[in-house]
Amino acid sequence: MQADYWHNLWETNEIGFHQGDTNPFLLEFFSQLKLKSNSRVFIPLCGKTLDISWMLKEGYRVVGVELNESAVKELFRTLSVEPKLKEIGSLTLYSAKDIDIFVGDIFNLNKEILGSVDAIYDRAALVALPKEMRIEYTSHLMDITSSAPQFLINFEYEQRLKEGPPFSISKTEVQNHYSKFYDIKLLKSFKIEGGGFAKINAYENIWLLSS
């Protein structure tokens, strides 16, 4: 999937993946990561998610990466924070107290630029990528974060019945990507009713990946 695809969705406001409130599974299960206050949480492909506001209020530090700059600008407007900008290679860093958001391609983000993180929150990254890209993404994610613990949310349904994104990711695929590096626990599997999944059997799976 090319960058223009995502830029066009933001430009035309076709952003059904953006939730209008804090993710309920984040509220219910994120504590199972057992993070200390001031822990630094990485959110790949973060968009302008309201989950960031919740994390900051809970005392976490947040670092994210997002391809679309307008989404990042809107995020900081929502937070009522004026960011500082810094060019780092092909990336632009928007930063303020307890928050760093890199604008650009996640594959241009390396371990040195990202810095240390204590956990990963992946609600909308893995499911946004087609299968061939998910292999590269998961490998890259573990490399730049030193396989930090993950709170992962994905969708599972019959892919032939619906065109992604969000793409379907089976439980077996999650195991294939991560079982060599993590202990994997399925916290909840929730049947989705209505919305874009109204006519198919679809589930939202919530995972804890710990080392």
CB 42 within 8 A of CB 119: yes
The tokens of 93 are what?
A: 């860093």
Taking a C-beta distance cutoff of 8 angstroms, is the pair 51, 20 a contact? Answer: no
Average pLDDT across the chain, whole number: 91
pLDDT at 11: 61
Identify the burial level of 37 via C-beta atoms within 10 angstroms of its C-beta, where 0-12 means exposed, 13-18 middle and 19 or more buried. Answer: exposed
Sign of CA dihedral 28, 173, 2, 105: positive
pLDDT of residue 156: 96
Instruction: Read off the pLDDT of residues 85-106 as tens digits, 9 standing for 90 and up.
Output: 999 999 999 999 999 999 999 9
Q: Which domains does the chain have, with CATH numbers?
A: 3-14+36-210 (3.40.50.150)
Q: What is the pLDDT of residues 107-157, one digit of tens each?
A: 999 999 999 999 999 999 999 999 999 999 999 999 999 999 999 999 999
Q: How far apart are CA 151 and CA 185, in angstroms?
A: 10
Stated pTM of the model:
0.92
In angstroms, rounded to a whole number, what is the distance separating the alpha carbons of residues 68 and 90? 13
